[in-house]
Structure 1
Amino acid sequence: MIDIPDSDRQLIDQAIFLPMLLTVLQRDLAAIDKGSFKLKQPYQISIEAIIRDVQKDLAAAKRYLHKNNIKIIRGRSENNFTFYMVMYKGGEEKRSYFNDKIRNNVEDLLDYYLVGRQEER
């Protein structure tokens, strides 16, 4: 295992989990569009605003990783794990994520963007 600073680890995790959060939000937006909500527009506006925030944060993380020559390669999914290879300053680190942990991390991010991010403003 290579020594990756916590700040870089956090950005690596963002680059892995934020695209998953975008997928969830886009599916939820489609479900709202097709659903029988009485007042769709407030939900749509809220989710679209969160999508823009997530896209902005993901773009910043990707720019940082690109600028610092950090690469993430998604590997295979096997049983209950998904594997990633992180190329960091000439070294390689293999990382495995328990799929339930991935779901929990994405859920935590959703909570952050729904509640925590609003409290920062």
Structure 2
Amino acid sequence: MPALKMEVIPYLENMIYLPMILTIVERDRMLFEQGNFKLKKPYIELLDDVARRVHKELGNTAAYLRGNRMSVVRGKMDDIFTEYIFVHDRQEDCRRYLNVRLRNRTEELLSHYLRQSDI
């Protein structure tokens, strides 16, 4: 397959990272709801705001990929690497990501979304 254009890589990677962020935010929201916090509402509102913005961006990303006939499929996974297959016009580009890199980048993006909150 010809190399993917650099401008499409962020969209493809969004399909990796944004669902991870949503999973984390939803899990953390449950912990705040069930936790023994004196004031839960501000934390829950903050997480809800992040989830709304991530959902919106994920929708925009999915629309872009559909419009350009692209998709992302998770391949093999082990303790060190996770493989993702970027599909474009029935051609595949297989990329392996270090699990530590996935975790660190997800954390960076989550921090970004938390700092950008409208609340």
Q: Is the TM-score greater than 0.5? A: yes
Distance 2:38 2:6 in 1: 45
| Backbone CA RMSD of aligned residues | 1.5
The answer to whether the 8 Å contact 1:69/1:89 transfers is yes
Structure 2 counterpart of 1:64 = 64
Structure 1 gaps, min length 5: none
Distance 1:109 1:80 in 2: 21
Structure 1 length normalisation: TM-score? Answer: 0.91
Distance 1:7 1:19 in 2: 20
Distance 1:79 1:43 in 2: 32
The alignment covers a number of residue pairs equal to 118
Runs of 4+ in 1 over 4 A off after TM superposition: none
Counting aligned pairs with the same residue, the percent is 33
1:1-121 → structure 2 map (5 Å cutoff): 2-115=2-115, 117-118=116-117
The answer to whether the 8 Å contact 2:49/2:117 transfers is no
The answer to whether the 8 Å contact 2:84/2:96 transfers is yes
- Structure with bigger helix share is 1
Structure 2 gaps, min length 5: none
